């Protein structure tokens, strides 16, 4: 029993110190994913700002407000895309331990889930504004509501896709963490990867 306990202690010590440096490929993959997604968001935002600005000047009624809100809304999306690109680059700085990767991954997934909830709220607000505008013959409410429906729907699909892509990375990380039975000189030992 004594050799087993000493082997277990040694494995725990070695496993804990040997796993400090986790391959940077996970951090690089997460960073590339975020970079690609922020470029998609930036392209969507830019197209909506340009189209919305041009069309708002040429449209009347609720169409004017629809295009106007698209341009307004996407100035925020463009800023988010810029910050997201900066954050993706910043993520690659420093050593990427399994623990750091797990924390970054969990943070990313939580943000995406929060965003998905916000996207649903945008859609519901858009439905309310559109109905309110149609009922009261208010072009501004109707146009803004239609815009929120389009923008919220895009963001909902966008964030669900991002979450699914990031969840795949999270599963790889989770698979590499935790308790394991490993071979030792005296038989089997229990090791914890952290």
The pTM of this model reads 0.79
Q: Which parts of 2-97 fold into alpha helices (H)?
A: 2-18, 25-58, 61-91
Each residue of 36-95: pLDDT tens digit?
Answer: 999 999 999 999 999 999 999 999 999 999 999 999 999 999 999 999 999 998 888 878
| Range of lowest pLDDT (99-103, 107-111, 158-162) | 99-103
Determine contact, residues 41/158, Cβ cutoff 8 Å: yes
- Residue 187 lies inside a defined structural domain of this protein: yes
Count CA within 13 A, CB hemisphere, residue 107: 10
- Residue 7 lies inside a defined structural domain of this protein: no
Q: Which of 54, 52, 37, 55 is nearest to 155 (CA)?
A: 37
- Residue 137 lies inside a defined structural domain of this protein: yes
- Residue 131 lies inside a defined structural domain of this protein: yes
- Residue 4 lies inside a defined structural domain of this protein: no
- Residue 72 lies inside a defined structural domain of this protein: yes
Supply the range of the domain harboring residue 133. Answer: 22-193
- Residue 2 lies inside a defined structural domain of this protein: no
């Amino acid at each position: 029993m004594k050799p087993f306990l000493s082997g277990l202690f040694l494995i725990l010590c070695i496993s804990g110190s040997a796993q400090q440096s986790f391959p940077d490929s996970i951090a690089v993959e997460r960073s590339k994913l975020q970079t690609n997604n922020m470029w998609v968001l930036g392209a969507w935002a830019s197209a909506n700002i340009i189209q919305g600005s041009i069309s708002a000047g040429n449209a009347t009624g609720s169409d004017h407000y629809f295009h106007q809100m698209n341009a307004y809304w996407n100035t925020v999306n463009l800023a988010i895309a810029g910050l997201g690109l900066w954050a993706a680059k910043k993520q690659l700085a420093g050593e990427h331990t399994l623990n750091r990767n797990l924390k970054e991954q969990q943070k990313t997934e939580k943000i995406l889930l929060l965003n998905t909830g916000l996207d649903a709220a945008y859609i519901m607000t858009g439905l309310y504004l559109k109905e309110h505008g149609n009922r009261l013959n208010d072009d501004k409410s109707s146009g803004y509501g239609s815009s929120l429906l389009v923008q919220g729907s895009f963001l909902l699909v966008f964030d669900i896709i991002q979450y699914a892509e990031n969840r795949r990375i999270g599963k790889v990380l989770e698979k590499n963490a935790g308790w394991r039975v490993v071979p030792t000189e005296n038989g089997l030992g229990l090791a914890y990867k952290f």
